[in-house]
């Protein structure tokens, strides 16, 4: 069966490096860190007091003022990033068949800030003060819901919630929907905004977060021997994903083609990856098979690379198992070294970054790579961006519960 080809025609990014595509991309190429002290609440008594916060975001630029209090920040980020992606794509959604336009935008956690705020209000003022918009303001699928309503998208609508693999699963699912002729255009990606007392406290209790509080910009250091945990980030990454012929017919700018998607489960532990990297290995192999590529075709991996001792080591093992000798010819970088870990939004943002790396022919670096770990011995594009004539690139996202997603992006042949 001939498969429909699928391309990326629009990008919208909100990250700790900036609001919009240009500031985020330039920050990455400059090797700039978006990590700093937490300002969203008083973190004095917390083990981790640093995060990658989005600075200067004004929801009124994208959402009517009276609507803002009816929904959580992760929804605001999703709507804003979706609008950015539409503007970037040149798409006039009102001229498209609404039944052929769909939305898959997920979140790993959803509206936790609104939950915490409403719980305080309940305790202080009683149940009569709970807003009727509380539930629709926090549930994960309402990011997709708001985007669907805004752009009159009446096609497939869904919201994966697969922890830190969410954004990648959303894009992969959107890709498959277009391949299978169930839509021509899809929004795909993730959004997250949970730098809150409960979330930071919860991840700290797991000892998952970096405690390099005195050096926030140096705290996220994937594969470095001194890494001590991930740094939470927030933001959104939304793509316009389109059937190739449809995009060409309307004269769209094409960033790259999505050529492969894989899914797997470690079936091992609620938070830790399988020690031999087998789940990560299988998801990369499935994406390669789906793309009809050989391991030697891949030149670059935008890795999951969270800066945790176990996770980075395991991903390195998995890459070696998949790519064998070619692993040492690959460039592998983690942009989480600059953005922090956006949890459910990470896969969306990192897919956008990979698409930009392909079209601009330059790799973002892994910053803070200072002391090599003997068990992590690949080419991690240390500290400086690197020109590369990219044809095929891979992006990995792995989540709690052992859920894994891999996407493959390829230069569009015109």
Residue numbers annotated as active site: 164, 304, 341
Q: Give the integer Cα–Cα distance in Å for 82 and 221.
A: 30
- Give, to the nearest 10 degrees, the angle between helix 142-151 and helix 73-89: 40
Other residues' Cβ atoms within 10 Å of the Cβ of residue 332: 25
| Full DSSP string of 6-25 | EEEEEEEEEETTEESHHHHH
Q: Are strands 235-243 and 185-192 parallel, antiparallel or unpaired?
A: antiparallel
Q: Give the integer Cα–Cα distance in Å for 294 and 69.
A: 50
Among 326, 309, 295, which residue's Cα sits nearest to residue 394? 295
Instruction: Identify whether the C-beta of residue 107 lies closer than 8 Å to the C-beta of residue 166.
Output: yes
Residues 6+ apart with CB under 8 A from 172: 261, 262, 263, 405, 407
Instruction: Identify whether the C-beta of residue 304 lies closer than 8 Å to the C-beta of residue 339.
Output: no
Token reading at 289: 């098979």
Q: What are phi and psi of 18, to 5 degrees?
A: 155, 165
Q: Give the integer Cα–Cα distance in Å for 139 and 80.
A: 18
Give, in order, the Cα–Cα distances in Å from 134 to each of 142, 159, 196, 197, 224: 12, 19, 17, 19, 42
Give, in order, the Cα–Cα distances in Å from 113 to each of 16, 40, 118, 338: 18, 10, 9, 24
Residues 6+ apart with CB under 8 A from 315: 273, 277, 280, 303, 304, 305, 396, 398
Give, in order, the Cα–Cα distances in Å from 184 to each of 84, 120, 152, 175, 342: 19, 44, 14, 10, 28
Instruction: Identify whether the C-beta of residue 174 lies closer than 8 Å to the C-beta of residue 104.
Output: yes
Q: Give the integer Cα–Cα distance in Å for 246 and 240.
A: 12
């Amino acid at each position: 069966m001939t498969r429909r080809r699928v391309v990326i025609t629009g990008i919208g990014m909100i990250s700790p490096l900036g609001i919009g595509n240009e500031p985020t991309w330039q920050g990455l190429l400059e090797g700039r860190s978006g990590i700093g002290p937490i300002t969203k609440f008083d973190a004095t008594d917390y083990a981790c007091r640093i995060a990658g916060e989005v600075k200067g975001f004004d929801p009124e630029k994208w959402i009517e003022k009276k609507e803002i209090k009816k929904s959580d920040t992760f929804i605001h980020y999703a709507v804003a990033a979706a609008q950015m992606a539409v503007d970037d794509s040149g798409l006039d959604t009102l001229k498209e068949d609404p039944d052929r336009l769909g939305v898959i935008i997920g979140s790993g956690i959803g509206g936790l800030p609104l939950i915490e705020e409403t719980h305080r209000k309940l305790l202080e003022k009683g149940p009569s003060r709970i807003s009727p918009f509380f539930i629709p303001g926090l549930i994960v699928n309402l990011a997709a819901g708001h985007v669907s309503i805004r752009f009159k998208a009446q096609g497939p609508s869904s919201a994966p919630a697969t922890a830190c693999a969410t954004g990648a699963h959303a894009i992969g699912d959107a890709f498959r929907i277009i391949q299978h002729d169930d839509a021509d255009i899809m929004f795909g990606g993730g959004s997250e905004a949970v730098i809150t007392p409960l979330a930071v406290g919860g991840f700290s209790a797991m000892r998952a977060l970096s405690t390099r509080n005195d050096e926030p910009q140096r705290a996220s250091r994937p594969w470095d021997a001194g890494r001590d945990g991930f740094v939470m980030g927030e933001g959104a990454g939304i793509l316009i994903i389109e059937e190739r012929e449809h995009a060409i017919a309307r004269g769209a700018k094409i960033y790259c083609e999505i050529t492969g998607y894989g899914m797997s489960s470690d079936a091992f532990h609620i938070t830790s990856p399988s020690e031999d990297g087998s789940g990560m290995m299988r998801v990369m192999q499935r994406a390669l098979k789906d793309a009809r590529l050989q391991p030697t075709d891949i030149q670059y991996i935008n890795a999951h690379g969270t800066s945790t001792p176990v996770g980075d080591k395991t991903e390195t093992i998995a890459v070696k198992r998949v790519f064998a000798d070619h692993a040492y010819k690959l460039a592998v970088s983690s942009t989480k070294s600059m953005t922090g870990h956006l949890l459910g939004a990470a896969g969306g943002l990192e897919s956008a970054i990979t698409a930009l790396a392909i079209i601009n022919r330059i790799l973002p670096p892994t910053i803070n790579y200072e002391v090599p770990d003997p068990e992590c011995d690949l080419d991690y594009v240390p500290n400086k961006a690197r020109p590369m004539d990219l044809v095929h690139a891979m992006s990995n996202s792995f989540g709690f519960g052992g859920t894994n997603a891999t996407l493959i992006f390829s230069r569009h042949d015109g």
